[in-house]
Homo-oligomer: A and B are copies of this chain.
């Protein structure tokens, strides 16, 4: 069918083709069908949307990725990409070959799968699992479609944490220690997706985090390390697309998880990696047994891909550090580097750094590097290389001016600190966009608490946001205090 092409913006970055209902019926094209558009000797494919109003009959509307399509074009019905057959094959619980996984990854990368097809892929992998072979092939395919960093040193250290734990900002401390010990550690991190602060958001309090590959290489050459946002470089880009389908379903199939993590690490050129697997109630990995299984599988896939992996299984239910939110977590980080700071953050950072040093065959003490101030000095060099103010001190980092402190209503022991509720509160207060918004937690689990003691303080940049967070705090109980006498919590 000959149609005139016109560009439309319907707020999507997917390659959609809008047909008037009349033309769509004539073509026999239903929503989510695909059409082939031929113009000037080129052929493009897009997913059909039908509309009565947006485009008149005789016209085909194309969204942004297809904006190069112009003039009179020939539109014909196209089949689904081959990879949809492989998705169906996985739904049938048949093991996929390397080239079939490659086809799926390529089609996801080029936005050729509809949401329905992408979700079926994720669902199939979740319901039927991936074999070790499949996971290896998937990792390779995911690595291949993105950019790859290359380093001249034989050992490149890296660290990854699976699943979000609030205020778990160990990365800047570990990178500073490991880089100070003379190892190369080009660390990419993410921004907050559903949490109040990703590592990249915290680092951004100190300096820039968005760099090109060439800039990253020069920062690492100068300082041995970097603390950059992974989204600024195109390492294993398919991961984000897959997460788009996993998140609404709250699923994260282990095989897919391993492929996502290891393809990122491989793309970053890492050779020796410590993977932190926090486990516990309400965390991605719920039991110690599951954490161990995941650790074994990650190591097996790593072996095949020549990435030397070791895993740290940690507690995932309690917060690490006192602050939640970009500036408040940044303050914790800097305090630890200055030789003080929350014990939980210092201990976890040192333990993981030590593991990574040993794993890389380096005979150095993480504790000594931290206590001697060499880690702080290295952190300042990285901050300077990334365009920040190197002489910043933790006392310069001030939270939002608006605050409320929530106090204990009874005497007892702090028995549970609920990470999810803390994150929700910090977000409501404005984090991560308002970088100075968030929480400070004054108690850790097992602390004795007197009625009237401070439990946590909410910080916000504006009174409105603070009020919103306070309203939410009234309905939540992120820090639970119990005493033996609490047989009855309240009577009403």
- How many Å lie between the Cα of A91 and that of B117 in the bound state? 16
Would A88 and B120 count as touching, CB distance under 8 A?
no
**A249–B116 CB distance below 8 A:** yes
CB neighbors of B among A421-477 (8 A): 427, 433
CB contact between A193 and one of B30, B87, B115, B119 (< 8 Å): that residue: B30
In the assembled complex, how far is the CB of residue A354 from the closest CB belonging to chain B, in whole angstroms?
36
Q: Which residues of B contact A93 (CB under 8 A)?
A: 127
Q: A9-B53, A116-B116 are in contact. List 10 more A-B contacts (CB 8 A).
A: A10-B51, A10-B54, A11-B18, A80-B248, A84-B250, A116-B118, A116-B249, A123-B124, A124-B127, A127-B128
Binding site for B on A (CB under 8 A): 9-12, 18, 25-26, 28, 30-33, 49-54, 80, 84, 87-88, 91, 93, 114-120, 122-124, 126-128, 193-194, 244-245, 247-251, 427, 433
A249 with B54: CB separation less than 8 A = no
CB-nearest residue of chain B to A193: B30
Q: Are B249 and A11 in contact (CB under 8 A)?
A: no
Listed by A's residue number, 25 A-B pairs whose Cβ atoms lie within 8 Å are A9-B51, A11-B18, A11-B50, A11-B53, A25-B433, A28-B427, A32-B247, A33-B248, A84-B248, A88-B249, A91-B126, A91-B249, A93-B127, A114-B115, A115-B115, A116-B245, A116-B249, A117-B119, A117-B248, A119-B120, A119-B123, A120-B122, A123-B123, A123-B127, A127-B128
Count the copies: 2
Question: Are B10 and A250 within 8 A (Cβ)?
Answer: no
- List, in ascending order, chain B residues with CB within 8 A of A9's CB: 51, 53-54
Complex CA gap A18/B12 in Å reads 11
Contacts of A244 in B (CB 8 A): 31-32, 116
Residue of B nearest to A128 (CB): B127
A-B pairs, top 7 by smallest CB distance, nearest first, are A11-B51, A123-B123, A119-B119, A115-B115, A127-B127, A116-B119, A10-B10
Residue of B with least CB distance to A10:
B10
Q: Which residue of B lies closest to A20 (CB)?
A: B11
* Nearest chain B CB to A280 CB, angstrom units: 19
Would you give the shortest CB distance from A263 to chain B, in whole angstroms? 22
Query: In whole Å, how far is A1's beta carbon from the nearest beta carbon of chain B?
Result: 9
Question: What's the least CB distance linking A391 to chain B, in Å?
Answer: 31
Question: Do residues B91 and A127 form an inter-chain contact, with CB atoms below 8 A?
Answer: yes
- In angstroms, Cα B30 to Cα A341, docked, is 34
Contacting A32 at CB < 8 Å: which of B51, B91, B248, B427? B248
Task: Tell which of B26, B52, B53, B128 touches A433, judged by Cβ atoms closer than 8 Å.
Answer: B26
Chain B residue nearest to A1 (CB atoms) is: B468
Q: In the complex the two chains form, is B115's CB within 8 Å of A119's CB?
A: yes
A115 interface neighbour in B25, B50, B88, B116, Cβ under 8 Å:
B116
**From residue A187, how far is it (CB to closest CB) to chain B in Å?**
24
Q: What's the least CB distance linking A200 to chain B, in Å?
A: 15
Task: Give min CB distance, A467 to chain B, whole Å.
Answer: 13
**Which residue of the partner chain B has the closest CB to A54?**
B11
B residues within 8 A CB of A18? 11
Interface centre among A28, A31, A50 (most CB of B within 10 A): A28
Closest CB in chain B relative to A207 CB, distance in Å: 21
Question: Quick one: closest B residue to A432, CB to CB?
Answer: B28
